Structure 1
């Protein structure tokens, strides 16, 4: 009887995983994690970016609506006064800032460094030369507005005029500062209202672009949202895709 109990105990002890089996299992788990976690993180970043951009767009659009209720329709705002183009910063201060939760404003700060979708430095935008005003919203989002004449930012679009800005979702002191990743272009246009930027400088008349054109051009200024472009139309592409970042987006 005792011998049977000893045999039974030995059998119970032998049931389980060997050290080699445990190590192999952990190794498999590690490989799977290494393959899936980066993808999960990227998908999370894409969703977070699109959601934050949509929220910021809604906030600024609402500010435009509130301003129109008190100051009249956008088409009547003083984009031009006595034949002279108004400064973009003046339009922003008078018609938008009072309706946004701005916690900080800096004028004519240091030069700002931003990058194209392919990682190359964007060096040809006047708005990045230090001649600009930086507004920090309560959400932490920064709005970089050109302090120059509206007619140069961008030029007159038909009979409409526009004042454009860079929307930086996490602030200029936080990387990657790349158009299409955390920085996006948007404009206030006397015909279209507040929109994500989708036109070429100097274009006249109403501009309509397909999704393919927003992504691959053509664009005289190279604004298309691709690794070969400068990324100024990336916000418009995200908006066109229902505020989502698609698989073919140049992330």
Structure 2
């Protein structure tokens, strides 16, 4: 029994349909893959960093007595890092940059920028980092994620905790249109998105917008929510 062969027109139509479907689905697949990498590396960094701090505390002194150098000279941060963190996690290299920061590169292709032992800016993809982008805090919440280590700050949610997603004083816009602190560190998820100064949102020419994105992902079980403002 002979089977009917496809005509050239039918083959072209079929290939066209396949191309259209691929054009629609491929960007979604790529985006989901990138999101998964971000989620996985954020969770891993949080775990590895805190395990390192706990081990360091057991071999050094309590976090209550650690000295945090606030100098703008990166050598101060490097000294702190060498004493408390360097030997407790696996890295490729470390470099000093201006402003008191050091850049620590990890084997999985990510990096973290540290200042004074308290401020941490994590890039799941080290290829997204440049000194210019970091200096302007570009793409915070998309390419870069903010963490903090404030174990000695009693008025902070981070008191006697390890490295945590960055949270600061809640802000609001007053009657004069100025952004002011409210004195509260308690946020709803909606407030984490909409905080005027550090909310997880897109904002041109802002060096603080997006700072609370890490906390939103953390509260969602290290999963990027569907209503997240940035695309990957």
CA shift in 2, pair 1:227/1:30, >3 Å = same
| Partner SS for 2:80 | helix
Kindly indicate whether residue 90 of structure 2 is the aligned counterpart of residue 62 of structure 1.
Answer: no
Q: CA deviation at 1:62?
A: 0.5
Q: Structure 1 residues 25-34 or 70-79, which shifts more? A: 70-79
Larger radius of gyration: 1
- Structure-2 change in CA distance of 1:217 and 1:244 (3 Å): same
Shift of 1:33: 1.0
Q: Report which stretch shifted further, 59-68 or 98-107.
A: 98-107
1:1-251 correspondence to structure 2 within 5 Å: 12=2, 15-79=4-68, 87-108=76-97, 130-146=99-115, 163-171=118-126, 178-190=139-151, 191=159, 192-200=161-169, 207-218=185-196, 222-228=197-203, 230-251=209-230
Extract unaligned runs of 5+ from structure 1: 1-8, 82-86, 109-128, 151-161
Following the alignment from structure 2 to structure 1, what is the Cα–Cα distance between the partners of residues 57 and 220?
Answer: 28
**1:102 is paired with a residue of what secondary structure?**
coil
CA contact (8 A) 1:88 1:163 kept: no
Check the 8 A contact 2:103/2:112 in 1, yes or no: yes
Structure 2 unaligned residues grouped into runs of 5+:
71-75, 152-158, 171-179
Q: What SS is found at the alignment partner of 2:105? A: strand
Alignment deviations for residues 208-228 of structure 1 (CA, whole Å, 9 cap, x no partner):
32221222214xxx2111113
Q: CA RMSD in A?
A: 3.0
Q: Tell me which moved more, 229-238 or 165-174.
A: 165-174
Alpha-carbon distance in structure 2 between the residues aligned to 1:195 and 1:34: 39
Q: Give the Cα–Cα distance (whole angstroms) in 1 for the partners of residues 219 and 40 of structure 2.
A: 14
Instruction: Tell me what 2:177 maps to.
Output: none
Q: Is the 8 A contact 2:37 2:124 kept in 1?
A: no
| Higher relative contact order structure (alpha carbons within 8 Å, sequence separation ≥ 6) | 1
Aligned length: 199
- CA distance in 2: counterparts of 1:43 and 1:135, whole angstroms: 27
TM-score (norm 2): 0.74
